């Protein structure tokens, strides 16, 4: 499978909607305090997927242009958010959003930037931002000190998910981030977490683009290994899946 986000999540939409993490309130507060997010502000959410970040921006009172190239993910966001005031679904990309020039005050990307071409995405962000506008990139990443559960989970993926290392290497790269912002942006880090039973943990795993799907040779060994990891680390039938939420922000 090519490392192309446009279609690679199409078969994973339902799991993505149910099991992907959201972003902590502190991250949204940062966008309010530093990046101009507020009631009535216009925001472009590039690579908006199923609308996880879009929903939080709508909660803040923004008018959100949710720009997503994948029809399945865009359709899921439309089903979930289509009845909310301020939600505008856009079939576009980070590099060609179709939005009008200087039409938004804030450009964001949540968990999607590593699929962008940084130079072209920067040019598009500068084109659609109003004077003095801001940009912010958000990721939910593993904590710097992994828990025993995450150590076992990581080892499982290395054994049974052939694409895991390639996709993991794309995440939060300093060079691409610097190219997008035109220099080193400001950065903030917040704690985040999810709590899963076994079914939820399997859904979280299968929402990832690198997880082998049913019918692929490594799928059954992966799922069996996941059951074993869960049993080793569960407490009261649940495991904690921790993250650190990274926010890079500035005025490109």
Q: Would you say residue 6 has pLDDT above 80?
A: no
Radius of gyration of the chain (CA): 18
The yes-or-no verdict on residue 232 having pLDDT over 80 is yes
C-alpha dist (Å) from residue 201 to 33, 115, 198, 230, 237: 34, 24, 5, 8, 11
- Determine the average pLDDT of the residues in 200-219: 94
In this predicted model, what pLDDT tens digit does every residue of 66-113 receive, in sequence order? 999 999 999 999 999 999 999 999 999 999 999 999 999 999 999 899
Identify the band that residue 114 occupies on the pLDDT scale cut at 50, 70 and 90.
Answer: confident
Measure the CA–CA gap between 37 and 121, rounded to whole angstroms. Answer: 21
Write the DSSP string, 19-30.
HS----HHHHHH
Domains of the chain (ranges; CATH) run 5-143+169-194+243-250 (3.40.50.150)
Residue 44 · residue 97 · CB < 8 Å: yes
Element (H, E) at 107: strand 104-110
Degrees to nearest 5, angle at CA 130 with 25 and 23: 15
Does residue 130 carry a pLDDT above 60?
A: yes
What's the confidence (pLDDT) of residue 2? 38
The H-assigned helical ranges of 44-191 are 52-59, 71-81, 118-128, 148-160, 164-168, 174-181
User: pLDDT band at 179, cuts 50/70/90?
Assistant: very high
User: What pLDDT is attached to residue 11?
Assistant: 56
pLDDT at 178 over 60: yes
Local confidence band at 132 (pLDDT 50, 70, 90 cut-offs): very high
The pLDDT of residue 172: 58
Q: How would residue 209 be classed by pLDDT, with cut points 50, 70 and 90? A: confident
pTM: 0.91
* Long-range CB contact pairs, 195-203, < 8 A, 24+: 195/238, 195/239, 195/240, 195/241, 196/19, 196/238, 196/239, 196/241, 197/237, 197/238, 198/227, 198/230, 198/234, 198/237, 200/18, 200/19, 201/226, 201/230, 201/239, 201/241, 202/226, 203/15, 203/18, 203/19
Q: Is the pLDDT of residue 237 over 50?
A: yes
Average pLDDT over residues 174-202: 95
pLDDT(29) > 90 = yes
Per residue in 138-176, pLDDT (tens digit) is 999 999 999 999 999 999 999 999 999 887 766 657 789
């Amino acid at each position: 499978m090519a490392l192309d986000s446009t279609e690679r999540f199409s078969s994973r939409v339902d799991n993505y909607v149910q099991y992907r993490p959201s972003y902590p309130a502190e991250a949204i507060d940062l966008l309010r305090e530093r990046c101009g997010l507020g009631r009535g502000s216009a925001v472009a959410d590039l690579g908006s997927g199923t609308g996880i970040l879009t929903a939080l921006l709508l909660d803040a009172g923004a008018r959100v242009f949710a720009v997503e190239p994948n029809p399945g993910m865009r359709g899921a966001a439309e089903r979930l958010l289509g009845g909310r005031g301020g939600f505008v679904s856009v079939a576009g990309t980070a590099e060609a959003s179709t939005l009008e020039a200087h039409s938004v005050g804030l450009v964001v990307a949540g968990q999607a930037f590593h699929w962008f071409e940084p130079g072209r995405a920067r040019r598009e962000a500068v084109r659609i931002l109003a004077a003095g506008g801001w940009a912010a990139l958000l990721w939910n990443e593993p904590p710097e000190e992994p828990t025993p559960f995450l150590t076992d989970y990581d080892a499982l993926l290395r054994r049974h998910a052939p694409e895991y290392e390639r996709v993991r290497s794309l995440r939060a790269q300093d060079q691409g981030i610097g190219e997008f912002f035109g220099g080193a942006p400001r950065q903030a880090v917040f704690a985040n977490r999810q709590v899963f039973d076994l079914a939820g943990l399997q859904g979280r795993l299968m929402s990832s683009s690198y997880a082998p799907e049913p019918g692929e040779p490594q799928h059954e060994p992966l799922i069996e290994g996941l059951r074993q990891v869960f049993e080793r680390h569960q407490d009261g039938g649940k495991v904690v899946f921790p993250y650190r939420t990274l926010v890079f922000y500035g005025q490109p």
